[in-house]
Structure 1
């Protein structure tokens, strides 16, 4: 029996995977994001901060709390990849935990930059990511507990230099 050559194997595999994907058995997770409970699809489409906040947390302002810490550079040389860290000092027990954390960039074309959902099993409400900023702007994080209590980081200005994604 002839051994199957690598190229022939890859070709057969690619055709097989395409058939499976085309049948609907495999559906990319991102395609179902709008169907996930609690996913703020309208908030990600909002063009103004107040709209994005209303659509995601049903409020347009939230009291600041030292428990929500946003860490980001004062000056970002590249607006296309600004590093931010959000850390929420709150219990993560079965009856009291951080359920969601939202990150907003006040005047971005779409102010809601990201939304993270947690469970008690997460252990800690913490994340690091790189966000895109169109220009120098204010950034804030808002955390919501499973009991509906909301708290916000102090808004932080991040200056995007000319060499970045804006001025």
Structure 2
């Protein structure tokens, strides 16, 4: 039998239990604004390559390539990837410079469920370019509980 005292001592720990949380379209938009400083993002010059149908969301390969000459005068400063429904909307940011040779990012990520992904590139002229992809996940990852 649980005594009132034991219940009182255990109750504070119950408040710390993790809750299932997912990013939303609004949270993703806010994360993008944080990356761009509120500057407009134009579609183009960026290619987000990810399978449109993923059987297992535990390890999903993706790559981002940006059309840029990668010279001192015209190069990609950073590439960021955002998602709409994982627990955190900002997946990764890779910093680049003109000596990178090619503006490319390749990685794997976990996908909690089917969702939209957005890749945004920051260029040396202050512009931001993007591409997006819709991914259907049949076996989700990032299960919390």
Instruction: Give the TM-score normalised by the residue count of structure 2.
Output: 0.75
What is the root-mean-square deviation of aligned Cα atoms in Å? 2.0
> Which residue number in structure 2 is paired with residue 57 of structure 1?
36
| Unaligned ranges ≥5, structure 1 | 1-45
Which residue of 79, 94, 99 corresponds with 2:72? 94
Query: What is the deviation of 1:164?
Result: 3.1
Partner of 1:74: 52
Residues paired across the two proteins, number: 119
2:129 maps to: 151
Q: Which runs of 5+ in 2 are unaligned?
A: 1-22
Check whether the contact 2:59–2:108 (CA below 8 A) recurs between aligned residues.
yes
- Report which of the two structures shows the higher radius of gyration computed on alpha carbons: 1
SS class of match (2:88)? coil
Structure 2 distance, partners of 1:57, 1:77, is 32
Higher helix share: 1
CA distance in 2, matches of 1:115, 1:57: 12
Structure with bigger strand share is 2
Task: Using structure 1 for the length normalisation, give the TM-score.
Answer: 0.66
Moved over 3 A (4+): none
Contact 2:79 2:105 in 1 (8 A): no
